[in-house]
Structure 1
Amino acid sequence: MKTIRFPRRAVLLGGLAAFLSGCASRFRSYGGPEVTRVRLYKGQRLLVLDGADRVLQTYPVGLGFAPEGHKQFEGDGRTPEGAYVVDKRNPDSTYPLSVGISYPNEADIAFAEAQGLSPGGDIFIHGGPRPGIDPTDVRDWTAGCIAVTDRQIEDIYAMVKDGTPIDIYA
């Protein structure tokens, strides 16, 4: 019986090609109905993407490590509540991809400043979890963001455009 040997270079190049093809797939395309609104139900840990006449997709989510109540100050671990918009996207996020939320708004800023504190910011929908977090326990580990799986953020990133309203309910 003859032993088949694979040259080391071929194995390394094959591995590199597989790795690069995996990276390319994080930017998905979406040709379906427009997402007209995003709704987050914190109590149910549920993110809903609405189209003009129906729900297009739902996702379970993790929230800030202190999920009860509206985010008021930097470092409080809460996820905001209220009406915001998707205002940015980050393809080079610490997490695979992220979609930004317009927190803080004018009212959030005014409230925090009246207390002599910062309202915080950089609230995103992103993949995860961050290094050191058990990947089977993705609930309520962020600093106030909305966490979904890496695969789910790829879909959300493709579907939700800047300017889309997002309503966050307790």
Structure 2
Amino acid sequence: MLTRRSLMLGAALGVAGCSTKFKEYNGPAVTRIQVFKGQRHMQLLHHQTLLRSYKFELGFAPDGHKVQEGDGRTPEGAYLIDRKNPNSSFHLSIGISYPNSRDVAKARAMGVSPGGDIFIHGTPSRVFGQPDWTWGCIAVTNEEMEEIYAMVDTGTQIFLYA
């Protein structure tokens, strides 16, 4: 005889079994992300050990450090992963702590807004494979984003190089 508890447990397991968006990762912690913009290459590291690497797409103006909102550039420098968005318009996303105090001061001195909302995120199928289409974010495939989302915690250091 089925009890209410067994029905609820079965329903919960059924829902969990249908979800492929959220992966589990049980390996070494990602302690550092390195992004090489010019090479379109990102590395996830555990200290000095390479765990995974990915190719990616950038903003529509990929050269140089992000200076102001709408410039289509991706920041360069040292930041942190400061948030995770499971409901991203781009499948899944993890936020980069741009702008920092230096970025804000530089933008204010120029009389502009530094912008924000810079993420590593998935890719809508209608734009995948088109080079440099984001507004300054780092775009990987949705499958890769699922892996990155599972591996990277908030507080992880990210270094973005030219």
Shorter-chain TM-score tier: 0.7 to 0.9
- Tell whether 2:151 aligns with 1:167: no
- Cα offsets for 1:97-140 (capped at 9, x unmatched): 000000000000000011111000000000013x752x332x31
- Tell whether 2:115 aligns with 1:120: yes
Aligned partner of 1:147: which letter? Answer: A
Distance 2:160 2:58 in 1: 12
Out of 79, 82, 88, which is 2:83 matched to?
Answer: 88
Distance 2:102 2:79 in 1: 12
- Tell whether 2:55 aligns with 1:70: no
SS in 1 for 2:102: helix
- Cα offsets for 1:43-94 (capped at 9, x unmatched): 0000100013410000001011100000000000000000000000100000
Out of 121, 144, 157, which is 2:136 matched to?
Answer: 144
Q: How many residue pairs align between the two structures?
A: 148
Distance 2:48 2:81 in 1: 20
- Tell whether 2:27 aligns with 1:35: no
Aligned partner of 2:40: which letter? Answer: R
Q: Which runs of 4+ in 1 moved over 2 A?
A: none
Query: 1:30, CA displacement in angstroms?
Result: 0.2
Q: How does 1:14-29 map to 2 (within 5 A)?
A: 21=18, 24-29=19-24
- TM-score (norm: length of structure 1): 0.83
Greater C-alpha Rg: 1
SS in 2 for 1:77: coil
Q: Between the two proteins, what is the percent identity of the paired residues?
A: 55
Distance 1:136 1:66 in 2: 16
SS in 1 for 2:106: helix
Structure 1: gaps spanning 5 or more residues: 1-16
Shift in CA distance, 132/28, structure 1 to aligned 2, threshold 3 Å:
closer
SS in 1 for 2:43: strand
Distance 2:39 2:153 in 1: 24
Distance 2:97 2:32 in 1: 14
Distance 2:32 2:47 in 1: 9
Distance 1:149 1:101 in 2: 18
- TM-score (norm: length of structure 2): 0.87
